[in-house]
Amino acid sequence: MRKSFWSLLMMATLLSACASGSGEQAAADNGGDLTEKNLPMTRQPPSAVETESKLHSLPEDSKSGEVTGYWSQILPSERRFKVVLNGEGILDGETGLVWERRPEITDLKWVDAMRTCYQLFKGDRRGWRPPSIEELASLADSNGALPKDAPFQNSVSPAAWWSSTSGLSDANLAFVYMEGWGLGDSKDKAKETAKVWCVRGGRVSNY
């Protein structure tokens, strides 16, 4: 019985020593500190409220703190337009669209105008497209005039500009934007001509 008692005592001592050694090794692995701050933490998934907030938050301009590029405000011309793409494009801060700085001023039939934009390589970038009638109209002021003090080049004065938007009742027609008149009458895609002002970004809209 005495021998059995001492055997159990020795076994308990050994187990205690092993447990102590494991704790010291863990402390060493954590820089000698086993406090809660050094224990590995499991990152909790974001709550539904946090996720919803991020989805609906809009980016802000780093200098002005104003939301830009979401059709949500009116900016003065000197802050609205910015030269981008190595001087070949103009970023519209109100809509987030990038327009050609030097739009095509040759009169083209509708199909040729659409092709011109789709094949355009400008500012060391592809991805240009013809604008919708809503996008063209967004450039104009309350009088229907296109921006005069913006940093565009080439004449954007009175002219008819093709849109990618087909006529409401006749797909053979397409809406044009006319300086000073706003939304002009639709033109025949195959028989009439107008100028084209290519754009990048935004939602592709082709009706």
In sequence order, what DSSP letters do the residues of 89-115 get, joined into one string? EEEETTT--EEESS-EEEEEEHHHHHH
Residue 90 contacts residue 84 (beta carbons within 8 Å): yes
Q: What is the pLDDT of residue 104?
A: 77
Reference 198, options 77, 76, 78, 115; nearest CA is 115
Give the confidence band of 31 by pLDDT, cuts at 50, 70, 90: low
Say whether 178 sits in a helix, a strand or coil.
Answer: strand
Nearest-angstrom CA–CA distance, 97 and 201: 5
More confident call, 110 vs 158: 110
Which of 17-31, 50-64, 114-128, 157-171 has the highest mean predicted lDDT (pLDDT)?
Answer: 114-128
What are the CA-CA distances from residue 204 to residues 20, 79, 122 (Å)?
Answer: 67, 25, 19
Q: What is the pLDDT of residue 27?
A: 47
Q: What is the pLDDT of residue 4?
A: 59
Does the pLDDT of residue 201 top 70, yes or no? yes
Terminal CA-CA length for the chain: 98
What mean pLDDT, rounded, does the chain reach?
A: 74
Q: What is the pLDDT of residue 184?
A: 65
Q: What is the pLDDT of residue 125?
A: 93
Does the pLDDT of residue 151 top 90, yes or no? no
- Quote the tokens at residue 27: 């402390």
Q: What is the pLDDT of residues 62-118, one digit of tens each?
A: 344 444 557 778 788 788 889 999 999 999 989 999 999 988 789 999 999 999 999
Pick the range with the lowest mean pLDDT from 49-53, 67-71, 119-123, 180-184: 49-53
Give the confidence band of 183 by pLDDT, cuts at 50, 70, 90: low
Beta strand extents in 101-172 (DSSP E only): 104-109, 160-166
- Quote the tokens at residue 38: 């050094």
Percent of all residues in the chain with a pLDDT value above 70, rounded to a whole number: 58
Reference 168, options 207, 132, 136, 198; nearest CA is 207
Q: What is the pLDDT of residues 44-63, one digit of tens each?
A: 555 544 544 443 344 444 34
Average pLDDT over residues 21-48: 51
Nearest-angstrom CA–CA distance, 89 and 169: 34
